A = this chain, B = another copy of it.
Amino acid sequence: MERKEDKLGEFELIELLTGEIKNSDSSILRDFGDDTAFVRYGKEILLLTVDTLVEGVHFLRRYPPSAVGWKLVSVNVSDIASKGGKPLWGLITLALSPRVEIEYLRELYRGINSALKHYGFSLVGGNTTKGDKLCLDLSLIGVARRVVYRDTPKVGDKIYVSGTLGDSKAGLELLLENRKSYTHWEQRLIEKHLKPKARLDLAQAVEKFANASMDISDGFLADLRKMVKNYSAVVYTDKLPLSEELEIFCQHRGCNPLLYALEGGEDYQLLVCSDKELTPYGFSLVGEITAEGKGEIYTPDGRKLEAKGFDHLKS
């Protein structure tokens, strides 16, 4: 046994393991490999997804517990939103280290509840168990009127993103400095990392107009590469939406905001391909599907963009 799990990336590992799983159930339209699974149920399509936050990997104990609860719900809703769906019911698992204070758990649940209220759905069940570190797992069931996969753009489609990119990465870096005080603009970047808002407000536009859609969790370039794996695309790098806060952050540090936008993870914005005009819905036009291909992504002046992003298991 020469190879260990930590030498594999998350995607190779999932591929390895799900390679063992053979689904023959005709209700299953798509299982692994998209933001959610798609199953047919009567006339509708159910969306099934699960996401996990692990202490020390996805959050630190010193983060505000209500933000951790908010984020747990939001990252799951983001998957449903990216499919143009509506969240219906959630199941939660809480693995608790014996050192967790009741007050911490109460705050955590306050964050969960405020997110449930914000996104308009309910937790219907759950499970509590002992664990070494705090581990939060949320399964979410949603519904959609049609299937919107992540990797089915059409040649000629425009590529759109919602919101601004790279803020979460900058916020994380600030957060890890663990300073006693932060300026207002720094706090706004930190908030983007701690309490991302799933773009459920854009789900209807996705349902109506998207040929392909996914949420940006691993980073714009890494995620775009999954989307265009059978295509070539051009990205208008000068059009990537950047926040004022990220620009200031990079001015102060002499870094390039574009790198944050291209490679920063956990923005939970939507990445959408469509042949319709989506800027009126608040999306930014950032590229185009130019041809069939093998996932090549170019700048407007013809340079190749390499996707890195980050992969939780490798990082």
Contacts and interface: CB of A to CB of B under 8 A. Distances in A.
Interface of A: 1, 3-6, 8, 10, 13-14, 16-18, 20-25, 27-28, 31-32, 36-37, 39, 41-42, 48-52, 54, 56-58, 88-89, 91-96, 98-103, 105-106, 109-110, 112-113, 116, 121-133, 135, 137, 139, 141, 312-313
Contact of A91 (B41, B128, B135, B139): B139
Contact of A5 (B51, B91, B98, B122): B98
Contact of A100 (B5, B103, B137): B5
A110 to B, nearest CB: 7
Given A91-B48, A126-B14, A21 B113 contact: yes
28 contacts: A1-B103, A4-B99, A4-B102, A5-B98, A5-B101, A5-B102, A5-B105, A6-B98, A10-B129, A17-B106, A20-B109, A22-B113, A27-B88, A27-B89, A28-B122, A28-B124, A32-B124, A32-B126, A48-B141, A50-B92, A50-B93, A50-B127, A51-B127, A93-B93, A127-B137, A129-B312, A131-B135, A141-B141
Contacts of A139: 50, 91, 139
Given A95-B135, A125-B31, A129-B54, A109 B21 contact: yes
A23 B122 contact: yes
Nearest to A51: B127
Given A4-B99, A124-B28, A132 B130 contact: no
A42 to B, nearest CB: 5
A21 B312 contact: no
A36 to B, nearest CB: 7
A124 B8 contact: no
Contacts of A22: 113
B124 A48 contact: yes
A122 B6 contact: no
Given A4-B100, A124-B28, A313-B130, A89 B20 contact: no
Nearest to A56: B132
Contacts of A41: 41
Given A32-B126, A132-B133, A139-B139, A50 B1 contact: no
B17 A105 contact: yes
